[in-house]
Chain A
């Protein structure tokens, strides 16, 4: 007899429909073969399914069994096919009415005793099921709240394989409700900007960065608060919108971090500088998202920028420019989203003490090479550069000046102005040339100052545009329609200098 069940295979962060067909044929020697490009973990599924069926009180048919995963040209990886294979097999062997499986999708890993284990990527699968107008999706119980985020279809949380028999009946396990997120999206546990003592200009630079989505380079000796500051950047960025939050959760889910009930916050990723290119931008076979995708809608922090390999930094170019990364492998090409803010930190020289401190023992040539690396690879994508020094003893003892919430309110207001101008979800850092020209209305003083900067500071074309973008954000922060001379002056001080 023939039966089929619907499940999904993950490709990047997308779920593709896979139909599991099971045929229990009479005649021939008993066997169980699995076809349709399964990788080793999927092939081992046969053993798990056999034991799980027997240990759940079902019969394993001693016939010639063929299970096919269609489409056959898509490589299947991972253990999430177990549940669908078991269901198709039960239907094909007459232990489950086949019509119960119509209109339902299943995903989950089986344990030998028949219990069901959670799998990654359930949110993406639930969303794909919604697109296919599937009535219900049966998932491992721990993954159920995650599947419920998709809104539709109905979620059936399964704890044990026996519960398959309850599908579509009165006794079907109840669908959980989706988590309720707090309205303002603030994470009370996130580190607060109030921890940063003194350093008002560093705060200001972060505020401008958060308001306009500008990437930042922070240069300073160890102990100057570079990573302390970077870690607090997500707390002053506007909260995730519903659709942004779903993107973030879907990526987390595919990477095996099942979202909890908490309100999703902007991701903060700080990979170590020994990271490989594939680890940073994604890769491997099957391709997995890299750090750039994990920091989608959040902050990617590269501490010790000068220590990252040249290849890794070069590979960041396309992601930074386009907000997505394309990974091409022999069998398929996948596209992953990666709209993140880059925060890079660096010491002033290889030893970290800084030439001017008098304690630096670096050769001028090696310092020059080190700095060349900073202004090389990514420089043209970074809008803001700021030098910091260790805070003084008075600063450390000073009372905190402002906390994240107040700065965040200003950033939100500035973003709203930008969205009115540029469209939903967009910010000043992404402005193209046309938008830049049309949106930066300057008064006379501002124009004169910019022209003067062009001549005196030898601003390149890109340098000029960078100052325009930054002054626009600074004006937005102050609620001004037109860019004034002071806005341009602040932008000139904040801008990243050097070659483009």
Chain B
């Protein structure tokens, strides 16, 4: 653990790099935050591009699947997925985000360098490879019972929307939802079977007026506007030929041959164009050599 402690950093309230979203907690905002991993991610968090996903530590397979899908699709859309790395829904959301090649942020109740639960050591390492782990507790602090409800307020403040995937009554996840409401953040809940104990809390939330979350698009509709599928950023300008290839990829061509057929270019030229587009960040390829568009959009000409 010592090597992780060596790499912990500290963010102080009022100093640059401290996430502005936490200031909404007023006097309750943590004075110091300790973290491991990608420090600039934490400082650069934009409220409006974050989603907090929480839920039961003993979820059903339905809950696990929904949490993983939400994490994956939302991260792929460019949102930062915030959760608590607890067993169950939290871990599934982190895992999904990593599978979506996105970044994810874990807020711990123990010290940021203490892996709790210990069974999630691998997930912890994966999160650190691109994202970050933060905590209000000093490095080396073992988990204590009172720490978790306090940690929940940080998660609630960091997320533009807090989505509860599955929660029994009563539940720590519902505390997070309540704190999000107090901060005037949005709260969403994934509907579940009325016969399932772990869906009692979420169904109650919906009955009380929380947004029903049927899939990633419901979250994106609320954060980015109805029908927008991803956060889009502007890329460098494109030559007409490259723009044509990028458009063919956007319209569903995934291989060189398909782009060549769609655009009328020779396959050879398409290969060159795709490599250049990938270097510019407009397209990405999977290990099998299948191309897809990234969220980058060309500048208006």
With both beta carbons as reference points, the residue of chain B lying nearest to A365 in the complex is identified as B68
Chain A residue nearest to B281 in the complex (CB): A456
The residue that A493 contacts in the complex, of B99, B274, B287, with Cβ under 8 A, is: B274
Knowing A387-B255, A489-B272 are in contact, say whether A348-B279 is a contact too (CB < 8 A). Answer: no
Instruction: Choose one: A200, A371, A449, A488; the contact of B267 (CB below 8 Å).
Output: A200
Q: From A199, A371, A375, A493, give the contact of B272 (CB < 8 A).
A: A493
User: Complex Cα distance A356/B268, Å?
Assistant: 25
Kindly provide the distance from the CB of A168 to the nearest chain B CB, expressed in whole angstroms.
Answer: 65
CA distance in complex: A199, B276 (Å):
21
**At the interface, yes or no: B285 with Cβ under 8 Å from chain A?**
yes
Q: Is the CB of A457 within 8 A of B278?
A: yes
- Contact assessment for A387 and B260 in the assembled complex, using a CB-CB cutoff below 8 Å: no
Tell me the bound Cα distance from A368 to B256 in angstroms: 23
Beyond A389-B255, A457-B279, whether A493 also contacts B288 by CB under 8 A is: no
Question: A364 contacts which chain B residues (CB < 8 A)?
Answer: 68-69, 72, 99
A201 proximal to B (CB < 8 A): yes
Knowing A490-B275, A493-B256 touch, does A387 contact B290 (C-beta < 8 A)? yes
Inter-chain CA distance A364–B92, complex, in Å, is 13
Q: Which single member of A198, A386, A452 contacts B289 (CB below 8 Å)?
A: A386
| A window 228-247: CB within 8 A of B | none
Question: Which residue of the partner chain A has the closest CB to B266?
Answer: A200
Interface status of B197 (Cβ within 8 A of chain A): no
Q: Is A411 in contact with chain B by the CB < 8 A criterion?
A: no
List B220-261 residues whose CB lies under 8 Å from chain A. 254-258, 260-261
B271 with A493: CB separation less than 8 A? yes
Contact string against B for A residues 471-500, beta-carbon threshold 8 Å, 1 for contact and 0 otherwise: 000000000000000101110111011100
Contact check: which of A204, A371, A453 meets B268 at CB < 8 Å?
A204
Q: Smallest CB-CB separation from A203: which chain B residue? A: B267
Q: How many chain B residues have a CB neighbour from A under 8 Å? A: 29
- Give Cα A386–Cα B267 distance, bound, in whole angstroms: 13
- Residues in B with CB closer than 8 Å to A387 are 254-255, 288-290
Neighbouring B residues of A493 by C-beta, 8 Å: 256, 271-272, 274-275, 278, 289
Q: Return the contact of B257 from the options A389, A490, A492 (Cβ within 8 A).
A: A389
Q: How far is the CA of A201 from the CA of B257 in the complex (A)?
A: 5
Query: Is B144 close to A, CB under 8 A?
Result: no
Once bound together, how far apart are the Cα atoms of A494 and B275, in whole Å?
9
CA distance A198 to B254 in the complex (A): 16
- B270 contacts partner chain A, Cβ-Cβ < 8 Å: yes
Contact A497 B289, CB 8 Å, known A201-B255, A387-B255, A389-B254 = yes
Is A217 engaged at the interface, CB distance under 8 Å to the other chain?
Answer: yes
A460 at the interface (CB under 8 A from B): no
Contact B254 A489 (CB under 8 A): no
What residues of chain A lie closer than 8 Å to B278, measured between beta carbons? 456-457, 492-493
- Chain B CB within 8 A of A53 CB: no
Q: Find chain A residues with CB under 8 A from B275 CB.
A: 449, 453, 488-490, 492-493
CA distance A346 to B289 in the complex (A): 12
B257: chain A residues at CB < 8 Å are 198-202, 388-389
Does the CB pair A385–B272 fall under 8 Å? Answer: no
A370-410 contact mask (Cβ, 8 Å, vs B): 1 or 0: 01001100000000011111001001000000000000000
Most buried by A among B266, B274, B279: B279
Say whether A489 contacts B287, CB under 8 Å.
Answer: no
> Is B15 part of the binding interface, using a Cβ–Cβ cutoff of 8 Å?
no
Indicate if B286 sits at the interface (CB-CB under 8 A): yes
A452 touches B279 (CB 8 A): yes
Q: Which residues of A contact B290 (CB under 8 A)?
A: 219, 348, 387
A388-B255, A389-B254 known; A219 vs B271 contact (CB < 8 Å)? no
Q: How far is the CB of A456 from chain B (nearest CB, A)?
A: 5
Task: Specify the chain A residue showing the minimal Cβ separation from B273.
Answer: A489
Question: How far, in whole Å, are A490 and B287 apart by their CA atoms in the complex?
Answer: 16
**Whose C-beta in chain B lies nearest to the C-beta of A486?**
B272
B276: nearest residue on chain A (CB-CB)?
A: A489
Residue in contact with A392 in the complex, picked from B68, B261, B281, B288, CB distance below 8 Å: B261
| A385 B261 Cβ-Cβ under 8 A | no
Which of A389, A493, A496 has the most chain B CB atoms inside 10 A of its CB? A493
Residues on A with C-beta less than 8 A from B99 are: 364, 368
A62-92 interface (Cβ within 8 A of B): none
* A486 surroundings in chain B (CB, below 8 A): 272
Contact B270–A201 (Cβ < 8 Å): yes
Interface centre among B99, B270, B288 (most CB of A within 10 A): B288
What residue in chain A is nearest B259 (Cβ atoms)? A201
CA distance A155 to B41 in the complex (A): 79
Option from B72, B256, B276, B289 in Cβ contact (under 8 Å) with A219: B289
Which B residues from 107 to 159 make CB contacts under 8 A with A? none
Contact string against B for A residues 316-350, beta-carbon threshold 8 Å, 1 for contact and 0 otherwise = 00000000000000000000000000000010100
Whether the Cβ atoms of A490 and B289 lie closer than 8 Å is no
The minimal Cβ–Cβ distance linking A409 to chain B, given in whole angstroms, is 18
In the complex, are the beta carbons of A374 and B279 less than 8 A apart? no
A13 to B264, CA, bound (A): 52
Given the known interface contacts A199-B257, A200-B260, the answer about A385 and B288 at a Cβ–Cβ threshold of 8 Å is yes
Chain A, Cβ-Cβ closest to B288:
A219
Tell whether, in the assembled complex, residue A385 and residue B287 are in contact, meaning their CB atoms are under 8 Å apart.
yes
Bound Cα distance from A348 to B260, whole angstroms: 21
Contact between A497 and B287, CB atoms less than 8 A apart: yes
A356 to B72, CA, bound (A): 16
Known contacts A219-B288, A371-B287, A388-B255; A201/B279 CB under 8 A:
no
A201 touches B254 (CB 8 A): no
Bitwise interface map of B from 277 to 298 toward A, beta carbon under 8 Å scored 1, else 0: 0110100011111100000000
Closest-by-CB residue of B relative to A219 is B288
Cβ–Cβ < 8 Å partners of A449 in chain B: 275, 279
CB distance from A392 to the nearest CB of B (A): 7
Known pairs A452-B279, A492-B278; A204 contacts B267 (CB<8 A): yes
Return the CB mask of B82-95 against A: 1 if under 8 Å, else 0. Answer: 00000000000000
CA distance A493 to B266 in the complex (A): 14
A356 with B254: CB separation less than 8 A: yes
B268 lies within 8 A of A490 (CB):
yes
Contact of B271 among A452, A457, A490 (CB under 8 A): A490
Residues of A within 8 A of B72 (CB): 364
CA distance A200 to B290 in the complex (A): 16
Residue of B nearest to A372 (CB): B287
Indicate the member of A371, A387, A494 with the most B CB atoms within 10 Å.
A387
Q: How far is the CA of A217 from the CA of B285 in the complex (A)?
A: 15
Beyond the given A201-B270, A488-B275, please list 9 additional residue pairs across the A-B interface where CB-CB is below 8 A: A200-B257, A219-B288, A219-B290, A386-B289, A388-B255, A449-B275, A449-B279, A456-B281, A493-B289
24 contacts between A and B (CB under 8 A): A200-B267, A200-B268, A201-B260, A201-B267, A201-B271, A219-B289, A348-B290, A364-B72, A364-B99, A374-B287, A375-B287, A386-B255, A386-B256, A387-B254, A387-B255, A388-B255, A395-B261, A449-B279, A456-B279, A488-B275, A489-B275, A490-B268, A490-B272, A498-B287
6 closest cross-chain pairs (CB), A and B:
A498-B287, A219-B288, A489-B275, A201-B256, A492-B275, A201-B267
Residues of B within 8 A of A (CB): 68-69, 72, 99, 254-258, 260-261, 266-268, 270-272, 274-276, 278-279, 281, 285-290
